[in-house]
């Protein structure tokens, strides 16, 4: 090691962030509120001790604890601003001319014309069926005994 190097790690001092005046004022206000709470609690405990000595309160009564008041947050209402909508242009469409209504007699006439077009025309057909002739085939069934071992190999490879 050389003389210029130091034996230990270098110590650097960081500057603490300074609080603004508003932060300090709020801190003081909070500390005062805590002090008032502690004083009120101490006062309640002293009163309870005096009542215990007089016999107004039983001896096993627990010491009072600080119960904070519930925080009430008032919601700010915002007045809605009136927004004006741009007017849409009026679209005028021409209507189709009205078609003459279809009557029941027109529908009946259409039905009969479709049915007559779809009705099958009478055509005579002659159907000739051929009757298949059965052929008698004789098959000879041979039962083979179970073949194993070298006989099977001879049979398979044709020796």
Tokens of 3: 């003389």
Q: Looking at residue 57, what is its pLDDT? A: 82
For residues 108 and 100, what is the distance between their CA atoms, to the nearest angstrom?
Answer: 17
Higher-confidence residue of 139 and 112: namely: 112
* Domains of the chain, residue spans: 19-55
State pLDDT tens for residues 74-89.
Answer: 888 888 888 888 888 9
Q: Looking at residue 8, what is its pLDDT? A: 60
State pLDDT tens for residues 117-140.
Answer: 888 777 677 777 787 778 877 877
């Amino acid at each position: 090691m050389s003389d210029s190097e130091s034996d230990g790690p270098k110590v650097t001092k960081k500057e603490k962030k300074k609080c603004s005046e508003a932060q300090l004022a709020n801190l003081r206000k909070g500390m005062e509120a805590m002090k008032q709470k502690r004083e009120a609690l101490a006062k309640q405990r002293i009163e309870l001790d005096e009542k215990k000595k007089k016999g107004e309160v039983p001896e096993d009564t627990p010491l009072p604890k600080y119960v904070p008041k519930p925080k009430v947050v008032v919601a700010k209402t915002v007045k809605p601003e009136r927004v004006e909508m741009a007017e849409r242009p009026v679209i005028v469409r021409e209507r189709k001319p009205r078609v003459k209504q279809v009557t029941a007699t027109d529908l009946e006439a259409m039905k009969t014309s479709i049915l007559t077009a779809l009705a099958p025309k009478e055509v005579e057909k002659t159907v000739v069926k051929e009757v298949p002739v059965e052929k008698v085939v004789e098959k000879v069934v041979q039962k083979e005994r179970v073949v194993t071992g070298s006989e099977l190999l001879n049979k398979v490879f044709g020796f």
